[in-house]
Structure 1
Amino acid sequence: MLIRDAFPSDEPFWRQLWAGYLAFYQADLPDEVTAKTWERLIRKQDGLFCRVAETGGEVCGFTLSVLHAGTWTVAPICYLEDLFVAPEHRGKGIGEALIRDLVGLGKANGWSRLYWHTQATNDTARSVYDRFVKADDFVRYRLFL
Structure 2
Amino acid sequence: MELVIREVAAGDKAAWHALWDGYNQFYESEIPAEITQNTWQRLLDSRSAVHCRVAVADGRVVGFAMIVLHEGTWVTSPICYLEDLFVMAEMRGKGIARRLIQALIAEGKSVGWSRLYWHTAQNNPARNLYDEFTPADEYVRYRMNL
Q: Which TM-score applies when normalising by structure 2?
A: 0.97
Residue in structure 2 matched with residue 101 of structure 1 by the alignment: 103
Counterpart AA for 2:40: W
CA separation of 1:45 and 1:24: change in aligned 2, threshold 3 A: farther
Deviates more, 1:19-28 or 1:44-53: 44-53
Q: Write the mapping of 1:106-145 to structure 2, written as runs, cut at 5 A.
A: 106-122=108-124, 124-145=125-146
Identity of aligned residues (%): 51
Which consecutive residues of structure 2, in runs of 5 or more, have no partner in the other structure?
none
3-state DSSP class of the match of 1:46?
A: coil
Match of 1:71 in 2: 73
Mapped partners of 2:17, 2:126: distance in 1? 21
Moved more, 43-52 or 17-26: 43-52
Matches within 5 A, 1:52-63: 52-63=54-65
CA apart distance, 1:27? 0.3
Counterpart CA distance in 2 for 1:44 and 1:86 is 26
User: 2:89 is matched with which residue?
Assistant: 87
Structure 1 residue aligned with 2:34: 32
Deviation at 1:56, TM superposition (A): 1.0
Give secondary structure in 2 for the equivalent of 1:130: helix
Extract structure 1 runs of 4+ deviating beyond 3 A: none
Q: 1:137, CA displacement in angstroms?
A: 1.1
Amino acid at match of 2:121: Q
**1:12 Cα deviation after fit:** 0.3
Report deviation, 1:45: 3.9
**For 1:26-73, what per-residue CA distance to the aligned partner results, in whole angstroms no more than 9, with x for missing partners?**
000100000000000111343110000001110000000001000010
**Residue segments in structure 1 that go unaligned for 5+ positions in a row:** none
| 1:2 aligned residue | 4
Name the stretch that deviates more: 9-18 or 36-45: 36-45
Partner amino acid for 1:129? Answer: Y
Counterpart in the other structure of 1:15: 17
Using structure 1 for the length normalisation, give the TM-score.
0.97
For 2:77 and 2:50, the matched residues in 1 are separated by 17
